[in-house]
Structure 1
Amino acid sequence: MTARSTPSVQPAASGKAGTIAGRPVSRVGFGAMQLEHLHGDREAAIALLRRVVELGINHVDTAQFYGNGFANGVISDAFRPEDGVVVVSKVGADPNPGGTIPLRPAQRPEQLRASVEDNLKSLGLDQIPVVNLRRLDTRPGLRAEGDQIVGLDDQLAVMTALRDEGKIGAIGLSAVTLDGLRQALPAGIVCVQNAYSLISRGDEQMLRLCLDEQIAWVPFFPLGGAFAGMPKVTDEPTVTAIAQSLGYSPAQVALAWLLHHAPNVLLIPGTANPRHLEANVAAAKITLDDFTMSALDAVQ
C-alpha cells in the first residue's frame, strides 16, 4: 500500500450531530445487516432496536435483502413515529435464499422500482427517507453481468421518478465510482456508501468531493476485514497500541478516527450484541488529539 492523502479540512468533533438529506442525525448510526443473526429470537431483535433509540441513535441503515425481509420487519415493529428515526434503505440487489451468495443483482429499472415497493411494504412506511442505489461497479461484493449491466442514467431516471412520486425522500449511491458520482450529482445525491476505513482509503478524492457538495459519507466495512483475505483495522499495530494507551478497544479507535477524519462522515456499524452496540456509540465521545491523528493517518 502507499500513503494516503487526506481532505484539507479540520477534524470534526466526533460527538456532534451530522446531517443526511437535510435531517440532523447521530454521527454513529446503526446498520441492520447483523439483525439476521437474531432471526430465531425476534423479541431480542426488537429489544436491541429499542436500545438503539435509548442510546440516542436516530439513523438506521437497512435493506429488504437483509435477512430476506427480516431486518425491515423488525424495524417496522420496533420503531415508533415519536422515535424520530431516519430509516435509510437500499436497492440494487434482491434476496437469493439458498444460493451460494444470499444475494442476486437487481439492477434493471423495473427491479429497482419493485425493490422500493417491497421496502415500503416491509417497513410499513408511506415514504422511505433515503434510498441508496447500490451499484455493482466496485469490489468487494457482487458484480453485474448480462442484462444486469445497466446505465446509471437509466437507474437515476427511475429513482428520480420514485422521489417525485413521494415514495422516497432522497437518493443516495452505494458502491459507486468517482466518475459515477460526478455523473449523478445533478440528480441531487445526499449520501454515498462505499467500502472505506483507516486502511482502505482509495476513495479519498470521492470523500473530498462529497465534502464539497455537502453529501454525507457513510462508509461500510469501517473496520475492514469483511471478507477472507481482507486486512482488519483492528490488527494494525499502531491502532492496537493507541487503543491500549487510551483505554479503548481497537475497534472504537478505528471508528473514532473516521469521525475525526472529516465532518461529513456518518457511521453505521452493525451488531446483534447490545454490549457491542454500546461500545460503538461510545466511540463518538472519544477525543483524538493532533498527535494521535497524525499517527493514525500515517498507517499504510
Structure 2
Amino acid sequence: MLSLGGTLTVGRLGFGTGGLVGPGYWGPRHEDPERLLAVLRRSVDRGVTLIDTADNYGPDVAEELVARALHPYPEGLVIATKGGVVRTGPNVWHIAGRPEQLRAMCDASLRRLRTDTIDLYQLHRLDPDVPMADQLGTLLELQQAGKIRHIGLDSIGAAELARARQVAPIASVQNRYNLMDRASEDVLKLCERTGTAFLPWFPLGNGTLTGGRPTTPAADALTSIATAHDATTGQIALAWLLHHSPALLPTPGTSSPDHLDENLAAARINLTEEELARLDALTDGTASTGGTGGTGD
C-alpha cells in the first residue's frame, strides 16, 4: 500500500485511462463502449483503488467513461485527474496554466466526474508563461474551497519539484519512467525522501517492454526472467517497478480484460536479488523528463 498526501491509502498498482480513448488521445475508441466500461468496473472488482485519468483524454471522453462506469464511487476508491493542457487534435495539445483556465478546467472535471471533490488533481504541465506561484496558488485556492483534496505535478524536474514544495503541499509526481527510461531517477529519489507518490507514465515503455522486440540484451534479460516466473515480459517490467522503489505507483492502462488481469498479476511476482540486479543494470538513458506531444501520461 502507498499513502497519498498522508490521508489516502491506495494499492501499488492503479489503472490509467489513456487507453480507453482513440488514437492520439483523440475521440472515442472504435469499439463497444460497454466493453470499456466493463474493464473499468473489473479493475475495481480486482482491487484497484486508484483510477488515473485526465480532462484532455478525448478530450472529456475518459472522465465521462470513469463516471459512467464507477459513479457512485465505492468507498476507498481514489479518482485522480489532470488539468492544464488543452488538446486540439490527435497528439496535438498546448499548455494552458493561467488561473482562470485552471479554475474552469477543474470545474469541468468535477461535472464530468460527478463529484464535489477530486481526490488528486495533477497539473498536467507547468506553464512556462505563468509564474509557478500563480499556478500552484490557484490549485491551493481550489483545495481550500474543497474542490480538490490533494495536488500533484506532471513531467517536472527535481529542482522544479523542490521549488513547488515551498509553495504548496505536493502529494504526487507523474513523470515518464520505466525499466529502460530512468531519466527521472533524481525526481524519484526526492519523492522517496519526502514521502511523495511517484506515478510513472508509460510504465511499459508505451508497449516496448511487452515483448515482440528484436533481440537485445534488455529483451534477452526480460524474456529469460519472465520464463523463470511463467510470466510475460510486461509483468516483469511492472514487477521491477514495484521492487525498485516504495514510492512508485504504476497505473498501466488497457481496454482488454485479459491484459488488465495480466497487469494486476504482476504485483504477485517476487523477483530475486540476482534478477533485480540484472534488471537494474539495464537502461538506455536516452529519454528526457519532459515528455512528448502525445501527453501519454
Report the TM-score, using the length of structure 1 for normalisation: 0.84
Equivalent residue in structure 2 for 1:104, among 87, 94, 97: 94
Query: For 2:90 and 2:113, how far apart are their aligned partners in 1?
Result: 27
For residues 125-140 of structure 1, the aligned pairs below 5 Å read: 125-135=115-125
Residue in 1 that maps onto 2:186:
205
Q: Cα–Cα, structure 1 residues 93 and 124, in superposed 2: closer, same or farther, change >3 Å? A: same
Tell me, yes or no, if the aligned pair for 1:233 and 1:239 is still in contact at 8 Å.
Answer: no
Asked if 1:260 is matched to 2:243, the reply is: yes
Measure how far apart 1:39 and its partner are: 5.6
Counterpart code for 1:90: K
Residue in 2 that maps onto 1:61:
52
Deviations 1:130-177 (A, max 9, x none): 1011225xxxxxxx6xxx622222211101111111110010000111
Residue in 2 that maps onto 1:221:
202
Tell me, yes or no, if the aligned pair for 2:174 and 2:201 is still in contact at 8 Å.
Answer: yes
Residue in 2 that maps onto 1:5:
none
Equivalent residue in structure 1 for 2:2, among 18, 40, 55: 18
The 10-residue stretch of structure 1 (37-46 or 182-191) with the greater mean CA deviation from structure 2: 37-46
Residue in 2 that maps onto 1:91:
83
Residue in 2 that maps onto 1:240:
223
By relative contact order (CA 8 Å, sep 6+), the higher-ranking structure is: 1
Asked if 1:271 is matched to 2:251, the reply is: no
Measure how far apart 1:95 and its partner are: 2.9
Asked if 1:281 is matched to 2:264, the reply is: yes
Q: Percent identity?
A: 38
Q: Cα–Cα, structure 1 residues 271 and 100, in superposed 2: closer, same or farther, change >3 Å? A: closer
Equivalent residue in structure 2 for 1:166, among 146, 151, 154: 146
The 10-residue stretch of structure 1 (156-165 or 107-116) with the greater mean CA deviation from structure 2: 107-116
Give RMSD over aligned pairs: 1.7
The unaligned stretches of length 5 or more in structure 2 are 23-28, 284-297
Residue in 1 that maps onto 2:289:
none
Query: For 2:260 and 2:206, how far apart are their aligned partners in 1?
Result: 19
The unaligned stretches of length 5 or more in structure 1 are 1-16, 137-143
Report the TM-score, using the length of structure 2 for normalisation: 0.85
Q: How many residues align?
A: 268
Deviations 1:204-241 (A, max 9, x none): 12111111110001100112247xxxx65754221122
Tell me, yes or no, if the aligned pair for 1:199 and 1:224 is still in contact at 8 Å.
Answer: yes
Tell me, yes or no, if the aligned pair for 1:195 and 1:220 is still in contact at 8 Å.
Answer: yes
Q: SS at the partner of 1:169?
A: strand
Query: For 1:225 and 1:282, how far apart are their aligned partners in 2?
Result: 19
